[in-house]
Amino acid sequence: MSLDLLRVIDEMRPPRVLVVGDVILDRYVIGDVSRISPEAPIQVLRQNHAYNNPGGMASVACNLVRLGAEVVLAGVVGDDGAGKELTALLRDRGLDAAGLVVEKSRPTTLKTRYVAASQHARQQILRVDQETDAALGTQTRARLTDHVREALQDIDVCVFSDYDKGVIEDEFAREMIKAARDAGVPVLIDPKGSDFMKYAGATALTPNRAEASTAGGRRIVSFEDADAVAETLLDSLDLECIYITLDRDGIYVKERGGPGAAIKTDPREVYDVTGAGDNVISVLSFALGAGTSSLSAAALANIAGGIAVEHFGVVTVGWDEIAARIALGTGGESKLLSTTMLEQLLESARAGGRSIVFTNGCFDILHPGHVDLLRRARAEGDLLVVGLNSDESVRRLKGAGRPVHDLTARASVLGGLASVDYIASFEEDTPEQIIERIRPDVLVKGSDWTDKGVVGREFVEARGGKVVLLELVPGHSTTNIVNKVRDV
């Protein structure tokens, strides 16, 4: 399945996607908490910085742009500061905001999250919402409807992102679903609430466990429950397919008249579920708009959602990250990534608060000393990247007859160690260039480098990182092993 998914990604053509729904401005106020207020028994947050992100339907649109889709927007903002900020953010991300209708009497939905941050974690302590769920004005609704109808003539797939803020109301939903069907355009809907009848006739829905349980009249505990609920909703809503997101259990996908399938997720540390659903429906709509099967689309979306929850706040997930996660599941040697892909993965890891450890070597014949060093290096941070000398580099450093094993074989053995997260090869005699590209927080070498001068020390320390020299396990050396074999 893994290799098939990589082929699917490689063969997909970018679709043209219409995204309809509630736009939200997500504001994050980050600070630290060190005391309780003398005025009331509440924490005092000392603000350090703040930033804004597109949320709701706008988050879905940004995700799709990151994936490479051509996106058309259809939503509503107020004539206020939040609306102007949101419009500017979308334009900065390459989106045409012409499809956002301005309603002067309506506030732009603004969610402000107050976050206490420490060195190792971030914790939301309060969220303040400024919003209305009132119905749109008659003229606003008419302009939005006309825009959607026009856009439906030249798109591959339509996404409804419903956050129950007044845009996807019952009559509008039914009218636009029918218009899409008449135009031969599939409609995917991320639903809200417990009554899904307004979504009847859509191509597919992506409810979460709680939403599907309520709408389907049965609590979902097992995959058998998910199948029963999926069957009920497929029939009652005249859907072609349903994707039930089951948090830690993955996604359950079922097409009308066919068997269901559970796409399980790998265990992972969850930092924040905010925006995970937006990533799921973004990947689903891209894949289905490109003609991918429901099962493959669900598998790709499941991976994207899993990546999203590893980071704090709303993040966009690209095909490069998804492909890398797929590759890591195909065998130890697949931990060997291009430096460009590794840079992108590590950037996402840093955004999630993770620290990067780097060490390097030839690792020609892996021995207990190597295993111990790598295990202790991994304990210095959250992710361990191993720089691996290329075959030509080893030959220049070690002489004729080396390496004993080629790069692929060495990467395969290293990749089998739980302590090693990623591997990157380098052609130079030293890892200086790759260190500067990876930008590790911790640089680890063996204690035998104490008097040799650690390559990359100045760069790492100048960025606030540290260099750690670990004592070696005595009596183990690749060169000694090679010499012993030659003497036999």
3-state class of 362 per DSSP? coil
Side chain identity, residue 287: A
Side chain identity, residue 153: Q
Measure the CA–CA gap between 156 and 186, rounded to whole angstroms: 7
3-state class of 430 per DSSP? coil
What's the token pair of residue 370?
A: 């190597």
* Phi/psi of residue 103, nearest 5 degrees: -115, 110
Question: What stretches of 226-285 adopt beta strand conformation (E)?
Answer: 241-245, 251-255, 260-263
372 is catalytic: no
Sign of CA dihedral 274, 279, 282, 285: negative
CB-based contact 237:229 (threshold 8 Å):
no
Chain centroid, CA 167 distance in Å:
27
Side chain identity, residue 320: D
Chain centroid, CA 236 distance in Å:
33
Q: From residue 385, give the alpha-carbon distance in Å to each of 32, 375, 424.
A: 31, 12, 7
3-state class of 444 per DSSP? strand
3-state class of 336 per DSSP? strand
Catalytic residue among 190, 227, 272, 278: 278
What's the token pair of residue 283?
A: 């990947």
Side chain identity, residue 27: R
Measure the CA–CA gap between 264 and 284, rounded to whole angstroms: 16
Measure the CA–CA gap between 403 and 415, rounded to whole angstroms: 18
3-state class of 363 per DSSP? coil
User: Hey, which residues are catalytic here?
Assistant: 278
